[in-house]
Amino acid sequence: MDATIQKTILFGIFIVIGFILKRKFNSKAEIQGLKKIILNLALPATIFIALMGIEVDPKLAGFPLMALGINLLLFYIFPFILPFVGFKKKSPDYRTMRLMIPSLAPGLSCFPFIAEILGQEYLAKAAMADLGNKVFVLIILYSIATQWYFKQNSNSQKDKGKLKSLLITLFSEPVTLLILIALGFMTFGFSFEKLPTIAQDVLQKLSVLMTPLVMIFIGLAVKIRRDQCIKILSLLMIRAGVVMGISAAIVWGMQISIREDILWILAFSLSACSFWPYAHIASISEKEKKELGKEKTFKSAIAINLLALSFPLSTLMIMTVMLNPDFMMVPSHIIGVAITCLGIGSALAAWIRLKELKTSKVTNRTILFKWFDYKKAS
């Protein structure tokens, strides 16, 4: 059996294990604890080892800009798509989706596949690209979220300390700190092998934990309300089609022909939606609940549902890409898959709209009949 297929099956087994273990996790706090271990220990160690294992290359500086470009394109494209799927403009659901959709969570979705299938060199490239994504989700999206909050609550005073606090959060995050430390070591020619043996052992053993823990976490996180499932699935399929189209443009525009280079770009762009925009949404929603007794700017419930469906769908699509490396290295094939995803998403959206239209007609007819009955009775 092909090594890639074996690894993909292994990932699936870990996801199933996570799904089975749902009953053993009695609270959200327990699942969040597992997530913190991944983000604060296993992932930083894996990325640190990956960065320290490559030579300093000035070309790496372009990867954060590439990721930031993907983020911005998604942010400005989806205002035209969201109303088609059924999210009314200027509604809390619409603003929630605008904030969530452009974000990427490579640490919990594509990094394990890149590390296991493509190797440490490509994981390092993906980690550098994630710096641009982090700037977008932690700083740019936070600024946009607060701007929308102040627009919806014009009587509220701006808290200038929040932006400073967020910048501190960005640079105190373990992943960011270890990336900066690794880059500093690399600049002075300090390799991973020159670290003390005990430090190497600790980092390597933490790194080994990453892949199984991420897959188990995805299995635990699969949970979504039925009434929103198809609507969110439609949006995520369209998102997948758009990012694959962007990836095809990058591959074609830069004349990339190395199979592994194409695969990591596709895997990175197909990453699940990030948790960070949800954190911004939850913070603002909590403040509004205290001030107004309700959510006004965003809807935190639909953001969580998006995350729950985004992780397994992203995993499935990245697995599909990795299982078909020769097929996916042709730009025209990528465009074909992108069109297929857009078609599926659009068909689901059209089905939702037709169903809503029928429901609306039934509701209006019921109201009309009740009105006539009321008139007869009076």
pLDDT at 102 over 80: yes
Structure tokens at 31: 């699942």
> Residue 17 pLDDT more than 80?
yes
In this prediction, residues 197-206 reach a mean pLDDT of 90
* pLDDT for res 150: 81
Q: What is the mean pLDDT of residues 313-332?
A: 88
Of 70, 196, 179, residue with least CA distance to 131: 179
Say whether domain 3-377 belongs to CATH 1.10.287. no
Q: Are 306 and 255 in contact (CB under 8 A)?
A: no
> Is residue 159 over pLDDT 60?
no
Measured from the Cβ of residue 20, the count of other Cβ atoms closer than 10 Å reads: 12
Band the pLDDT of 156: cuts 50, 70, 90: very low
The predicted pLDDT at position 248 comes to 93
Stretch 3-10: mean pLDDT: 66
Share of the chain above pLDDT 90, in %: 24
Tokens read off for 340: 């297929």
* pLDDT score, position 245: 95
Q: What is the mean pLDDT of the chain?
A: 82
For 68, 112, 173, 346, the CA distances from 42, given in Å and listed in that order, are 25, 11, 13, 38
Q: For 204, left (φ over 0), alpha (ψ -120 to 50), or beta?
A: alpha
- Among the ranges given (15-24, 66-75, 126-135, 224-233), the one the predictor scored with the smallest mean pLDDT: 224-233
Instruction: List pLDDT tens digits, range 268-316.
Output: 999 999 888 887 888 788 778 877 778 888 988 888 888 888 888 898 8
Instruction: Please give the average per-residue pLDDT across 134-161, as a whole number.
Output: 76
d(CA 223, CA 57): 42
Q: Does position 76 have pLDDT exceeding 90, yes or no? A: yes
How far apart (Å, rounded) are the C-alpha atoms in residues 68 and 102?
10
* pLDDT for 317: 92
pLDDT of residue 162: 54
Give the integer Cα–Cα distance in Å for 298 and 94: 8
Tell me which of 53 and 17 has the higher pLDDT: 17
Q: What is the pLDDT of residues 334-358, one digit of tens each?
A: 999 999 999 999 999 888 888 777 7
Position 194 confidence tier, pLDDT thresholds 50, 70, 90: confident
The mean pLDDT value for 365-370 works out to 51
Segment 76-88 shows an average pLDDT of 92
Q: pLDDT band for position 83 (50/70/90)?
A: very high
